[in-house]
Amino acid sequence: MKKVVLAYSGGLDTSCCIQWLKDKGFDVICFSANLGSEFSPDDLKKRAKASGASKIYIKDLRNEFAQDYILPSLKAGAVYEGKYLLSTSLGRPLIAKHLIEVAKNEHAEYVAHGCTGKGNDQVRFEITTAILAPAIKTVAPLRQWELYSREEEIEYAKINHIPIKTSKEKVYSIDKNIWGVSVEGGALEDLSREPLENSYYFVKPLNKTPNKETSVEIEFKEGAPVRLGGRNLDFLGIIEKLNALGALCGIGRTDNIEDRVVGIKSREIYEAPAAWILHAAHRELESLTIDRETLFYKELVAQKYSQLIYQGFWFTPLKNALDAFVNVTQKPVNGLIRLKLYKGNIVISGRKSARSLYKKEFATYGKGDTFDRTLAEGFIKLLAMPYMK
Ligand code: ARG
């Protein structure tokens, strides 16, 4: 029998995938990764078995996700099209990497995923597989089967006695991990309308947030967050705390039109409080500790870096080379940033760094000025010289 390892979430799509793959003659082994969604291993085991899988592997990848995927992206300052901190995108190469490991372990020739034929995730899964395990073939049931709507899938599940939790009222497609939640589809497809209340996942709508500010203090070491509110915490712990705190203050919810890899423009709502708070704090500390030219160049790198992540090119030579550049830039990024969270806003309220490049004796308009203003005139003349007739 042909063996396939399916990236399994327990949702409607991947549950139907099990049955469909079995009908095609596969022995189906499931693999589920915990990246920080609501996750119950027992429930997943039960449902995978009841749906017809012969075996299920479950891995908690939250720490690996935080350390090896989110952190490099944070240091790089990667933001896709100015508004997306890449939560879903960053998770895919990690899941694919482990999916392949399971496949190798099981001597399976095939892997499968439940991604649609018009999204980004199929691209990310399959590029990763092609790079890391070119001999393994991918099956993508959603690109082949005869089910064309959610309703048809639910019918298919009923006929085949596949246990599903979802109902027809569940109108959004949601992907969640520790770095953010992506919400798509349903009423959101009408671009002229603001998102309905039921599209809020865990960030509070602004009219339900406190009327006073919440202060946060984050300390960084070489670009990595290491302390929150004066307490040592691992990166995963910091993300979890900031998600909870930020969500209460309405932080990090964006309504995006984005350019998918396959050329479609689509609308997606993201909720990523911790991601935006950390991004803001990190960027602020960089302003203080990195020199002008490196900062400028780093922004160019961030643009390309975000595109590599979004388009699925995580395991590539260019991505590794950019990491090397970014890591060099992060050496001086040490210090503390204080922020206030208030009704969706992140406001910088204090900075401290032993590696600060700010020199008060140069910047001051008050006493103690040591900047030699007589140098300015000649300096400006030289700057203008190439353009003077
Ligand atoms: N548009 C996002 C991305 O490409 C999220 C994709 C998954 N979204 C979802 N709602 N299921 O990274």
Q: What is the pLDDT of residues 30-85, one digit of tens each?
A: 999 999 998 899 999 999 999 999 999 999 999 999 999 999 999 999 999 999 99
Instruction: Establish whether residue 88 lines the binding site of ligand 1, counting it when its CB lies within 6 angstroms of any ligand atom.
Output: yes
For residue 174, which atom of ligand 1 is closest to its CA?
Answer: 10
H/E element, 236? helix 235-248
What does the angle CA 65 – CA 69 – CA 71 come to, to the nearest 5 degrees? 100
**Helices (H) then strands (E): counts for the chain:** 14, 14
Mean pLDDT of 127-154: 96
- CA dihedral of residues 181, 186, 308, 65 (deg, nearest 10): 20
Q: How confident is the model at residue 167 (pLDDT cuts 50, 70, 90)?
A: low
Q: Quick check: 346 and 251 in contact, CB under 8 A?
A: yes
Distance 244 CA to ligand 1 centre (A): 22
Instruction: Calculate how far, in angstroms, residue 88's C-alpha sits from the geometric centre of ligand 1.
Output: 6
Residue 168 has pLDDT above 70, yes or no: no
pLDDT above 80: residue 170:
no
Q: Among candidates 275, 279, 224, which has minimal Cα distance to 245?
A: 275
What CATH homologous superfamily does 208-253+272-351 map to? Argininosuccinate synthetase, chain A, domain 2 (3.90.1260.10)
Q: pLDDT tier at 165 (50, 70, 90 boundaries)?
A: confident
**Predicted local distance difference test score (pLDDT) of residue 349:** 98
Buried b (16+ CB within 10 A) or exposed e, 277-298: bbbbbbbbbbebbbeeeeeeeb
Q: 63, 64, 66, 9: which is closest to 33 by C-alpha? A: 9
Q: Which residues are catalytic?
A: 13, 92, 121, 173
Cα(47)–Cα(6) distance, integer angstroms: 14
Centre of ligand 1 to C-alpha 260, Å, is: 9
Atom of ligand 1 nearest to the CA of 120: 4
Name 115's Cβ contacts closer than 8 Å, sequence gap at least 6: 121, 122, 125, 140, 142
Decide whether any atom of ligand 1 lies within 6 Å of the 171 Cβ.
no
The chain-wide mean pLDDT, for the chain, equals: 97
Q: Atom 2 of ligand 1 has which residue's CA nearest to it?
A: 88
Q: How confident is the model at residue 166 (pLDDT cuts 50, 70, 90)?
A: low
Location of each CATH 3.40.50.620 domain in the chain:
2-79+87-165
Task: Say if domain 2-79+87-165 classifies as CATH 3.40.50.620.
Answer: yes
Tokens of 78: 């990667």
Q: Is 268 in the pocket of ligand 1 (CB under 6 A)?
A: yes
Atom of ligand 1 nearest to the CA of 89: 12
126 lines ligand 1 (CB under 6 A): no
Q: Where would I find the H helices in 32-183?
A: 41-51, 62-65, 71-76, 87-105, 121-132, 141-144, 150-159
Rounded to the nearest whole angstrom, what is the distance from the C-alpha of residue 180 to the centroid of ligand 1?
10
The model's pLDDT over 75-129, given as tens digits with 9 standing for 90+, comes to 999 999 999 999 999 999 999 999 999 999 999 999 999 999 999 999 999 999 9
Atom number in ligand 1 closest to CA 88: 12
For the chain, residues classed under CATH 3.90.1260.10 are 208-253+272-351
Ligand 1 atom, smallest distance to 184 CA: 10
Nearest CA to ligand 1 atom 6: 88
**Probe target for ligand 1 pocket from 79, 184, 201, with the most ligand atoms within 8 Å of CB:** 184
Report how far ligand 1's centroid is from the alpha carbon of 270 (Å).
9
Beta-sheet pairing, 180-184 with 265-271: antiparallel
- Picking from 31, 23, 11, 7, the residue whose alpha carbon sits closest to that of residue 146 is 23
Taking the C-alpha atoms of residue 223 and residue 335, their distance in angstroms, rounded to an integer, is: 9
Distance of CA 298 from the midpoint of ligand 1 (Å): 26
Q: What is the pLDDT confidence band of residue 164, given thresholds at 50, 70 and 90?
A: confident
What is the rounded distance in angstroms from the CA atom of residue 57 to the CA atom of residue 229? 37
Task: Please state the rounded mean pLDDT for residues 4-23.
Answer: 96
Instruction: Measure 99 CA to ligand 1 centroid, in angstroms.
Output: 19
The protein residue whose alpha carbon is closest to atom 4 in ligand 1 is: 120
Q: Tell me, using a 6 A CB cutoff, whether residue 284 lines ligand 1.
A: no
Asked whether 271 lines ligand 1 (CB < 6 A), one says no
State how far the Cα of 34 lies from the Cα of 9, in Å rounded to an integer.
9
CB 177 near ligand 1, within 6 Å: no
Ligand 1 atom nearest residue 80's Cα: 12
The finding on whether 199 has its CB within 6 A of some atom of ligand 1 is no
Task: Please work out whether the CB of residue 330 comes within 6 Å of at least one atom of ligand 1.
Answer: no
Predicted TM-score of the model (pTM):
0.97
